[in-house]
Amino acid sequence: MITESIFIFLGELITIGIILLLLILIITLVLGKILIKKNLLIFPKVMLLGLDAFYSPLKKFSKSLGLDKTLVDHIGVELRNKVNEKKFNKIPNDEKLIFLPHCLRAADCEAKLTKTGVECTECGRCSIGIIKSEAEPMGYTVFIVPGSSFIERIIKEQHFKAVVGIACYEDLNLMMMNLSDFAPQGVLLNQDGCFLTKVKVKEVLDKIGYEKQDQTKQTTLT
């Protein structure tokens, strides 16, 4: 009888645990969608904690509901941007790194690959040169990286306090998660893939605090 009671008790605990987990997943997704659609933060740090703790279950759960496969990572990126924004803005630009994905390169790019990434020549064939030419005079250090192994090497060698990343949904969310100690800010690619991707340059410049003075150049930033 005692053994049977223990099994019943354990079964009830497991059932309650599953129900609580489902509630957490549903609440996180609902609040996340509100954040994206209305730019409204509701318990951001709690949401971020839940998102990181239940990242894999959330991805599977949202997929089972037929939701956009990028939703969970999109929520993660927006949350991290909001939570870290004030800290990021207080850090001097010369202590910030920008990581650009090499997939933004033009098809006929002639830039060489080195141990710290692609050495952009600012030829003007892609958005990388525009971002680099505006960000570096502001004090930022810009890297064009082929993958996470380059980022890992760079962060070991560089002295910095904040980072800006540009990438697709999952890569950007995971990068910001791994670099959470460095007030990460992120900009999503508006056309992803492995080749000839695109980003809205103005969004990147806005994120790094760039203020355009010559309005005649605005057409190059869209």
Q: What pLDDT is stored for residue 21 in this prediction?
A: 66
pTM of the model: 0.82
Q: Phi and psi dihedrals of 165, rounded to 5?
A: -120, 145
Task: Tell which wins on pLDDT, 15 or 222.
Answer: 15
- Which of 52-61, 78-87, 177-186 has the weakest average pLDDT? 52-61
Task: Categorize the per-residue pLDDT at 213 as very low, low, confident or very high, splitting at 50, 70 and 90.
Answer: very low
Would you say residue 56 has pLDDT above 50?
Answer: yes
Percent of the chain with pLDDT over 70: 86
Q: List the Cα angle 152/158/163 in 5-degree steps.
A: 70
pLDDT tens for each residue of 101-121: 999 998 888 889 988 899 998
Angle between helices 71-90 and 2-38 (to 10 degrees): 70
- Count CB-CB contacts under 10 A for residue 214: 6
What's the rounded mean pLDDT across residues 133-139? 94
Task: Categorize the per-residue pLDDT at 42 as very low, low, confident or very high, splitting at 50, 70 and 90.
Answer: confident
CA separation for the pair 129, 221 (Å, rounded): 12
Task: Categorize the per-residue pLDDT at 198 as very low, low, confident or very high, splitting at 50, 70 and 90.
Answer: very high
Would you say residue 164 has pLDDT above 90?
Answer: yes
CA separation for the pair 97, 213 (Å, rounded): 23
Task: Categorize the per-residue pLDDT at 2 as very low, low, confident or very high, splitting at 50, 70 and 90.
Answer: low
| 165 in Cβ contact with 157 (< 8 Å) | no
